[in-house]
């Protein structure tokens, strides 16, 4: 028995010491912003206060356990109160708490100073992706995009070696400039999510119907990663946040190029596409937006997520299918994708669904049809 | 006084328990009902534990190995619900049933028929809730805190069963609390003033008031969910003018007192065990009572510290930060008093004492992380990470659960008339102690490193901590089978125990023979200062 306990203890000590080697992982990270560094020192201050109190309190306890044993022939004392002592251990902790509350209040006030921003990004949580929208007073310079998990399913299902950024990588990161005050407006479309970038020291719930705000000034360009931190359903663990901080000039150039791309993209809504073009584009859109619930082969996870393969919708009238995707199904996980995808993406994904997984509707869906169905917008 | 008059002609042979299984269905005896509660909670503890092991098995390595995310969410949700409402709370009610009448010198609980009803509701409530796991679409998958609209608009169809189950659990708790309050306030032996009551009785009196105050709030929350789901109201639906944040305010107005409901009786238990094995009166009896009362009061004005990230205004954040920090003061008083009770005692370390000392140390660790979480600007970094998971498991497992286990070892000789095997008890303690720390201590690190809670798969830098944590969980889980073996072994073939089973034990229950007679005190006992704690 003793031998077994020793062996188990030995293994555990080995494992724990292996972790100790990566000591930087044992603590909160200081982060890169002024706020996150202040939060870190507050964390360390309180941690050390707790350690000090712990050493004293547990020291007394363990000394007592060691010294005041019956087996050492100690006679039990019979005292049972001391007003002075009891007052002391009420007042002293209160003073320590006041000492903690003061710097905490200072930092919190700074965190709430969201005014005077250089630019504003709206962050909108969806099941299970983030939408970033650059807001600008001049509406011509506003655009938005979705940021989806980029880790392939094969890595999640252990069929492929996991990359270093496993589950912390996205197809399109949020890009912001260094050294400028960026204000984030946080909200959600469906359920509550939470947007967190540990290195910036900021986290806020994304609540449907509520707009919260946060801010950050990031001095160092780089890539910063975080995750959704409020349970938001099935793929809560699979909606990371990646923020790429660019040097100011580089950011301005990127922003200008995005505006140009945006113009080209809007113009393509008037085009008509061939079956092959729609299939290529549709497969890409399906993989990003549909496959999480309806699965790669369209078999779905009934009853919550119906199959697309052989479904009445995918084989039925085309406009009904388009309308279902555009408007969603209230009270279910099926979102109104008309708000998330553009007419080209909607037309191609519906076309793809109608001509894959054994479905063969034999028709074409064009961006113009989508625009007609959604009232010309 | 009617009990006393009754007792005069009750004193004859036909008042043993009835024979057969129907005894347990019809019983109105506080000891039988206490036993039912305790076995029920132990069964739920094992069920909830199996769910926890499913979670830890999946999290042993990164990637999806055994279960899919939608099932994982059902596991975390039901693990939490079963442990909180099925294991910890009924175990404390079971202890209250067994102990309060004996400790206040009463023959039974004040309302025996209601006592029977409040227990027998529970198996139906949990049967219904657990059955949803086997329904089409699955069981509750929105976390034990069931935040709307994930638990309303986006919930599986089975949520209606969950709502009804919560209503039943609430009804059971409220009836149990009324019974406990009625017993304590009306049935104390002559001479037992409030400030002479044993601390377990005191803590339960205050806990019962907390339950009566907050269980209706929970019932209100789930009823509003029911209306949102089935009658198209918009209490929590932003599109109809409702507010998902309001759900959280209502939930935590229930939820924060709820966490003290799960710890105050634990304070009472430890305040019995430590003086017994230190052979010394409890230090600071009256400050213990005032500390419990202050904690109970504060528990009503700190709820939004669970919601620091929802975007409250600055003034609100500051209020909830300060009020939360204040809780450290009365809690500290309790810890200091326990240590002062041990100081210069003449201690022995039987199993209940080991669990009680581990309680003091590890609950205090949970208190430290609680204090860190109270600091709002830092909480942003901890919120909804494994740091929080580590924190509340430290206060609930080596906190609430260890106190329950300690209580079982401590009073088992009184209940069964037999002594458990001390060597096996110590083995159980050390396995549990090691298991609990190996499971939950690394979770502080994975939380600080940035791992969110309630995720079925995680980034590679969290892999080592999760592996250690899973190993600990399996050690802890399986060592509870040792506990089960010890209990059965004691009941079947334990050595006979004396009336006063521990030489330092004080209190009216120890003046009764072991096992305690079916009706505890048919005549009110004499309350002497020597038998009461401290005062």
The active-site residue, picked from B158, B271, B479, B501, is: B271
Q: Could you give the angle at which helices A83-111 and B328-342 cross, rounded to 10 degrees? A: 150
Q: Which helix (H) or strand (E) holds B172?
A: helix B159-186
- The pLDDT value recorded for residue A81 is 86
Instruction: Please choose, from the candidates B295, B340, B271, the residue with its C-alpha nearest in 3D space to the C-alpha of residue A81.
Output: B340
Paired strand residues for A130:
A125, A147
Task: Quick: pLDDT tens for B69-93.
Answer: 999 999 999 999 999 999 999 999 9
Nearest CA in chain A to B337: A86
Instruction: Calculate mean pLDDT across residues B330-340.
Output: 96
Q: How far apart are the first and last CA of chain B?
A: 26
Question: Which chain A residue is nearest to residue B382, measuring alpha carbons?
Answer: A28
For the segment B375-427, what is each residue's pLDDT rounded down to a tens digit? 999 999 999 999 999 999 999 999 999 999 999 999 999 999 999 999 999 99
How far apart are the C-alpha atoms of A242 and A225, rounded to whole Å? 5
The pTM score is 0.89
Q: What is the mean pLDDT of residues B314-334?
A: 96
CB contact under 8 A, A70 and B377: no
Q: Which band of pLDDT confidence, cut at 50, 70 and 90, is reported for residue B11?
A: very low
Cβ of residue A333 closer than 8 Å to a chain B Cβ: yes
Residue with tokens 């020793």: A6
Position B13 confidence tier, pLDDT thresholds 50, 70, 90: very low
Q: What's the rounded Cα separation, in Å, for the pair B200 and A370? A: 69
Give pLDDT tens digits for A219-249.
Answer: 999 999 999 999 999 999 999 999 999 999 9
- Is residue B379 annotated as part of the catalytic site, yes or no? no
pLDDT number for residue A261: 85
pLDDT at residue B10, as a whole number: 45
Q: Nearest CA of chain A to the CA of B49: how many Å? A: 22
Task: Tell whether A237 lies on the interface with B, counting CB pairs under 8 A.
Answer: yes
SS3 A335: coil
CA distances from A277 to A126, A211, A345, B207 (A): 28, 39, 11, 68
User: B441-476 pLDDT, tens per residue?
Assistant: 999 999 999 999 999 999 999 999 999 999 999 999
pLDDT of residue B155: 92
How large is the C-alpha radius of gyration of chain B?
23
Query: Of B379, B442, B449, which is closest to residue A29 (Cα–Cα)?
Result: B449
Residue B373 reports pLDDT greater than 90: yes
* pLDDT per position as a tens digit, B100-153: 999 999 999 999 999 999 999 999 999 999 999 999 889 999 999 999 999 999
Q: How confident is the model at residue B62 (pLDDT cuts 50, 70, 90)?
A: very high
Instruction: Read off the pLDDT band of A185 (50, 70, 90).
Output: very high
Checking if the pLDDT of A22 tops 90, the result is no
Residue of A nearest to B387 (CA): A28
Alpha helices in B262-327 (DSSP H): 264-278, 285-298, 314-326
Q: Is B144 a catalytic residue?
A: yes
Under the banding of pLDDT at 50, 70 and 90, the label for residue A15 is low
| Contact status of A280 with chain B (Cβ, < 8 Å) | no
Question: Is A15 part of the contact surface with chain B (CB cutoff 8 Å)?
Answer: yes
A150-182 confidence digits (pLDDT tens):
999 899 999 999 999 999 999 999 999 999 999
Catalytic-role residue among B30, B79, B272, B428: B79
How many alpha carbons fall within 13 Å on the CB side of residue A192? 32
**Taking residues A248-262, what's their average pLDDT?**
90
Residue A375 touches partner B, C-beta closer than 8 Å: no
B136 counts as catalytic: no
Q: Could you read off the pLDDT of B213-238 as tens digits, one per residue? A: 999 999 999 999 999 999 999 999 99
Nearest chain B residue to A46, by CA? B372
Quick check: A339 contacting B, CB < 8 Å?
no
In percent, the amount of chain B with pLDDT more than 70 equals 96
Min distance B273 CA to chain A CA atoms (Å)? 15
User: What is the model's pLDDT at position A1?
Assistant: 55
Interface contact B347-A69, CB threshold 8 A: yes
Q: What SS3 state is found at A220?
A: coil
- Kindly report the nearest CA distance between residue B323 and chain A, in angstroms: 11
Active site residue B256: yes
Position A223 scores a pLDDT of 97
Tokens for A110?
A: 């700074």
Q: What is the pLDDT of residue B5?
A: 44
Q: Report pLDDT digits (tens) over A35-80.
A: 999 999 999 999 999 999 999 999 999 999 999 999 998 888 888 8
Q: 10 Å Cβ neighbour count for A41?
A: 13
Name the residue with higher pLDDT: A314 or A169: A169
Chain B residues within an 8 Å CB radius of A81: 283-287, 534
With CB atoms and an 8 Å threshold, state whether B380 touches A155. no
B331 is annotated as an active-site residue: yes
- Environment class of B213 (CB within 10 Å of its CB; exposed 0-12, middle 13-18, buried 19+): middle
> Does residue B366 contact residue B394 with C-beta atoms inside 8 Å?
yes
Mean pLDDT for A258-283 is 86
- Length of chain A as a residue count: 377
Q: Sort strands A174-177 and A240-246 into parallel, antiparallel or unpaired.
A: parallel
Residues of chain B above pLDDT 90, percent: 91
pLDDT band at residue B18 under the 50/70/90 scheme: confident
Contacts 24+ apart (CB under 8 A), B73-76: B73/A231, B73/A233, B73/A234, B73/A236, B73/B141, B73/B142, B73/B143, B73/B454, B73/B456, B74/B133, B74/B138, B74/B139, B74/B140, B74/B141, B75/B51, B76/B143, B76/B144, B76/B454
User: What are φ and ψ of residue A245, in 5° steps?
Assistant: -95, 120
- Distances B207 to A257, B296, B297 between C-alpha atoms, Å: 63, 8, 11
pLDDT tens track for B257-281 = 999 999 999 999 999 999 999 999 9
Q: Which phi and psi angles does A296 have, rounded to 5°?
A: -60, -30
The angle subtended at Cα A18 by Cα A15 and Cα A24, nearest 5°, is: 130
Q: What is the pLDDT of residue A8?
A: 66
pLDDT of A143 reads: 86
């Amino acid at each position: 028995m003793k031998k077994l306990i020793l062996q188990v203890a030995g293994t555990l000590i080995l494992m724990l010491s292996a972790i100790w080697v990566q000591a930087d992982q044992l603590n909160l990270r200081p982060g890169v912003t002024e706020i996150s560094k202040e939060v870190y020192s507050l964390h360390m201050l309180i941690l050390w206060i707790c350690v000090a109190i712990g050493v004293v309190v547990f020291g007394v306890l363990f000394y007592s356990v060691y010294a005041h044993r019956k087996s050492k022939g100690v006679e039990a004392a019979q005292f049972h109160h001391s007003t002075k002592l009891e007052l002391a251990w009420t007042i002293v902790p209160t003073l320590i708490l006041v000492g903690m509350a003061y710097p905490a209040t200072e930092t919190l006030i700074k965190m709430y100073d969201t005014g005077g921003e250089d630019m504003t990004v709206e962050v909108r949580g969806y099941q299970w992706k983030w939408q970033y929208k650059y807001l600008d007073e001049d509406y011509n310079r506003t655009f938005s995009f979705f940021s989806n998990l980029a880790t392939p399913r094969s890595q999640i299902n252990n069929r492929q070696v996991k990359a270093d950024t496993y589950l912390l990588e996205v197809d399109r990161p949020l890009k912001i400039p260094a050294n400028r005050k960026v204000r984030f407006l946080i909200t959600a479309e469906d359920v509550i999510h939470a947007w967190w970038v540990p290195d910036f020291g900021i986290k806020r719930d994304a609540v449907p119907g509520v707009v919260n705000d946060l801010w950050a000034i990031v001095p160092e360009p780089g890539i910063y990663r975080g995750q959704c931190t409020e349970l938001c359903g099935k793929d809560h663990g699979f909606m990371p946040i990646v923020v790429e901080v660019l040097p100011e000039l580089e950011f301005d150039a990127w922003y200008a190029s995005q505006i140009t791309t945006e113009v080209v993209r809007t113009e393509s809504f008037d085009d008509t596409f061939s079956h092959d073009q729609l299939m290529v584009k549709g497969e890409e859109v399906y993989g990003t937006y549909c496959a999480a619930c309806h699965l790669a082969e369209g078999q779905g996870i009934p009853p919550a997520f119906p199959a697309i393969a052989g479904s009445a919708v995918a084989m039925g009238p085309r406009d009904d299918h388009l309308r279902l995707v555009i408007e969603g199904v209230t009270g279910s996980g099926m979102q109104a994708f008309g708000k998330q995808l553009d007419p080209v993406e909607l037309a191609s994904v519906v076309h793809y669904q109608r001509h894959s997984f054994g479905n063969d509707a034999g028709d074409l869906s064009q961006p113009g049809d989508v625009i007609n169905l959604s009232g010309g917008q | 006084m009617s009990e006393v008059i009754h007792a005069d002609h009750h004193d004859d042979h036909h008042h043993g328990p009835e024979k057969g299984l129907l005894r347990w269905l019809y019983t109105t005896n506080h000891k039988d009902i206490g036993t039912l509660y305790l076995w029920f909670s132990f069964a739920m503890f094992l069920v909830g534990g199996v769910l926890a092991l499913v979670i830890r098995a999946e999290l042993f390595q990164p990637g999806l190995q055994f279960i899919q995310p939608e099932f994982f969410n059902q596991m975390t949700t039901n693990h939490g619900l079963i442990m909180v409402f099925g294991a910890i709370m009924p175990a404390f009610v079971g202890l209250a049933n067994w102990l309060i009448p004996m400790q206040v010198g009463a023959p039974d609980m004040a309302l025996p028929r209601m006592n029977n009803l409040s227990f027998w509701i529970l198996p139906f409530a949990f049967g219904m809730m657990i059955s949803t796991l086997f329904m089409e679409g699955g069981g509750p998958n929105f976390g034990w805190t069931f935040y709307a609209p994930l638990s309303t608009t986006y919930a599986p169809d089975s949520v209606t069963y969950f709502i009804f189950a919560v209503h039943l659990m609430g009804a059971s708790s409220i009836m149990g609390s009324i019974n406990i309050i009625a017993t304590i306030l009306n049935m104390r032996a002559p001479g037992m003033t409030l400030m002479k009551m044993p601390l377990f009785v005191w803590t339960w009196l205050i806990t019962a008031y907390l339950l009566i105050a907050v269980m209706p709030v929970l019932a209100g929350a789930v009823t509003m969910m029911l209306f949102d789901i089935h009658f198209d109201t918009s209490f929590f639906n932003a599109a109809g003018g409702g507010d998902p944040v309001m759900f959280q305010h209502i939930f935590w107005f229930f939820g924060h007192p709820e966490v003290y409901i799960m710890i105050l009786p634990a304070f009472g238990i430890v305040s019995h065990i430590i003086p017994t094995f230190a052979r010394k009166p409890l230090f600071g009896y009256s400050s213990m009572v005032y500390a419990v009362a202050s904690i109970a009061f504060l528990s009503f004005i700190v709820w939004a510290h669970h919601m620091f990230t929802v975007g409250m205004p600055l003034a609100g954040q500051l209020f909830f930060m300060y009020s939360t920090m204040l809780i450290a003061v009365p809690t500290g008083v309790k810890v200091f008093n326990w240590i002062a009770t041990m100081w210069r005692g003449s201690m022995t370390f039987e199993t209940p004492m080991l669990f009680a000392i581990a309680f003091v140390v590890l609950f205090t660790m949970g208190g430290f992380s609680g204090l860190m979480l109270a600091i709002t600007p830092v909480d942003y970094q901890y919120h909804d990470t494994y740091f929080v998971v580590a924190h509340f498991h430290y206060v609930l497992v080596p906190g609430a659960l260890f106190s329950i286990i300690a209580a079982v070892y401590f009073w088992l000789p009184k209940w069964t008339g037999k002594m458990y095997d001390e060597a096996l008890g110590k083995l159980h303690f050390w396995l549990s102690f090691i298991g609990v720390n190996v499971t939950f201590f690394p979770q502080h690190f994975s939380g600080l490193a940035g791992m969110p809670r309630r995720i079925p798969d995680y980034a590679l830098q969290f892999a080592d901590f999760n592996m250690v944590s899973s190993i600990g969980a399996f050690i802890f889980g399986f060592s509870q089978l040792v506990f089960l073996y010890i209990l059965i072994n004691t009941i079947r073939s334990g050595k006979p125990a004396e009336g006063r089973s521990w030489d330092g034990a004080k209190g009216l229950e120890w003046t009764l023979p072991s096992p305690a007679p079916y009706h505890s005190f048919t005549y009110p006992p004499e309350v002497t200062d020597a038998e009461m704690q401290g005062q």
